[in-house]
Amino acid sequence: MDAGSLFLVLAFFIVVILFVSRPFFNRTLAAQRLMQKKASSTMDHQRSALLAEQDRILQSLHELDADHATGKVLDEDYAHQRTSLLQAGADVLRNLDQLNGAVGRDLAGTTGVADGKTPDIDNPQLARRLEERRKNRQNSSTGGFCPKCGQAVSKGDQFCSKCGHLLK
């Protein structure tokens, strides 16, 4: 082997070693990736919890409407309970919009419970969104959310498709 080919092989070997060892020297890049993964996981968990809370509120609204229609709930109690459920639903919708990074224009005039004020549930667009979601929930085949991981599950599912948790 002559000296030129020896230097070429040595240079190639050094480039390969530097390329392979680059992640070990760049700890900040690895730390940034880890932080992004944790932030993404946290956001997914928050979104899942908010969707589960929305599902619970919509189910409660449906049950309250059914109980009122059958006469089990008095008009005064119905109005008060429905108002409180709509307020909770407004908070959940607002938090979902903020988590998605786009606060809806129909929520621009509302205030959250976080600042100590009552949300504006008289907003017709917000009420319409809640009612649409309640009706869509009734017509959909979703059976709710997994109690362990928050994944949406169908009515006939026995196990969660994400974590394998027994649903029934």
Here the tokens at position 59 are 């189910």
In the chain, pLDDT over 90 holds for what percent of residues? 8
147-154 long-range contacts, CB within 8 A, separation 24+? 149/48, 150/45, 150/48, 150/49, 150/51, 150/52, 151/48, 152/51
Residue type, 107: L
Predicted confidence (pLDDT) at residue 110 exceeds the cutoff of 80: no
HSE at residue 63, side-chain half, CA atoms within 13 A, is 8
Here the tokens at position 84 are 């409180």
Instruction: Scan for tokens 């959940």, then name that residue.
Output: 92
Instruction: Scan for tokens 């600042």, then name that residue.
Output: 115
**What does the alpha-carbon distance between residue 136 and residue 90 come to, in Å, rounded to a whole number?**
17
**What does the alpha-carbon distance between residue 77 and residue 81 come to, in Å, rounded to a whole number?**
6
- pTM beyond 0.75, yes or no: no
pLDDT at residue number 91: 86
Residue type, 124: P
HSE at residue 17, side-chain half, CA atoms within 13 A, is 6
Per-residue confidence at 131, pLDDT binned at 50, 70, 90?
confident
CA-CA distances (angstroms) from residue 40 to 43, 44, 51, 132? 5, 6, 16, 29
- Classified as helix, coil or strand, 152 is strand
pLDDT: is 161 or 100 the higher one?
Answer: 161
**What does the alpha-carbon distance between residue 154 and residue 121 come to, in Å, rounded to a whole number?**
30
Predicted confidence (pLDDT) at residue 130 exceeds the cutoff of 90: no
11-63: pLDDT as tens digits: 999 999 988 887 777 777 777 888 888 888 888 888 888 888 888 888 888 88
pLDDT: is 162 or 1 the higher one?
Answer: 162
**What does the alpha-carbon distance between residue 128 and residue 122 come to, in Å, rounded to a whole number?**
10
* Domain residue limits, the chain: 3-137
Average pLDDT over residues 85-102: 82
**What does the alpha-carbon distance between residue 166 and residue 168 come to, in Å, rounded to a whole number?**
6
